[in-house]
Amino acid sequence: MIAVLKRGTTAEQTDHLIRWLKTMNLDVHVSSGQEVTVLGLVGDTSRVDMELLTSLEIVDSVKRVSEPFKQANRKFHPNDSIIEAGNVKIGGGFFAMIAGPCSVESSEQIIGIANEVKEGGADVLRGGAFKPRTSPYAFQGLKEQGLKLLLEAKKVSGLPIITEIMNVRSLALFEEVDIIQVGARNMQNFDLLQELGKTKKPILLKRGLANTLQELLMSAEYIMSEGNENIILCERGIRTYETYTRNTLDLSAVPVLHELTHLPVVVDPSHATGRAQLVPSMALAAAACGADGIMVEVHNNPSCALCDGAQSITPAQFTQLAHAVKRVREAIQ
Q: What would the x/- binding string for Mn ion be over residues 255 to 294, using CB under 5 A?
A: ----------------------------------------
- Residue 2's alpha-carbon distances to 72, 259, 261, in angstroms, are 13, 17, 15
Among 5, 21, 99, 102, the residue binding Mn ion under the rule CB under 5 A is: 102
Provide φ and ψ at 308, rounded to 5°.
Answer: 60, 35
263 binds, among ligand PEP, Mn ion, none (CB under 5 to 8 A by kind): none
**What stretches of 19-82 adopt beta strand conformation (E)?**
27-32, 37-42, 59-63
Among 118, 201, 206, 299, the residue binding ligand PEP under the rule CB under 6 A is: 206
Buried b (16+ CB within 10 A) or exposed e, 51-65: eebeeeebbeebeeb
Q: Among 45-53, 62-70, 183-191, 220-228, which window interacts with ligand PEP (CB under 6 A)?
A: 183-191
Strands 179-182 and 203-206 turn out to be parallel
- The C-alpha atoms of residue 205 and residue 208 are separated, in whole angstroms, by 9
Among 70, 75, 201, 236, the residue binding ligand PEP under the rule CB under 6 A is: 236
Which DSSP letter does residue 176 get?
Answer: T
- The C-alpha atoms of residue 256 and residue 30 are separated, in whole angstroms, by 24
- Residue 167's alpha-carbon distances to 11, 130, 195, in angstroms, are 42, 10, 10
Task: Please report, as residue ranges, which positions from 23 to 62 form the binding site for ligand PEP (by CB under 6 A).
Answer: none
Rg (CA), the chain: 21
164 is a contact residue toward Mn ion (CB under 5 A): no
Q: What would the x/- binding string for ligand PEP be over residues 260 to 279, using CB under 6 A?
A: -----------x--------
Smallest distance, Mn ion to C-beta of residue 72, A: 26
128 is a contact residue toward ligand PEP (CB under 6 A): yes
98 is a contact residue toward Mn ion (CB under 5 A): no
Smallest distance, ligand PEP to C-beta of residue 209, A: 8
Q: What would the x/- binding string for ligand PEP be over residues 280 to 319, using CB under 6 A?
A: ----------------------------------------
308 is a contact residue toward Mn ion (CB under 5 A): yes
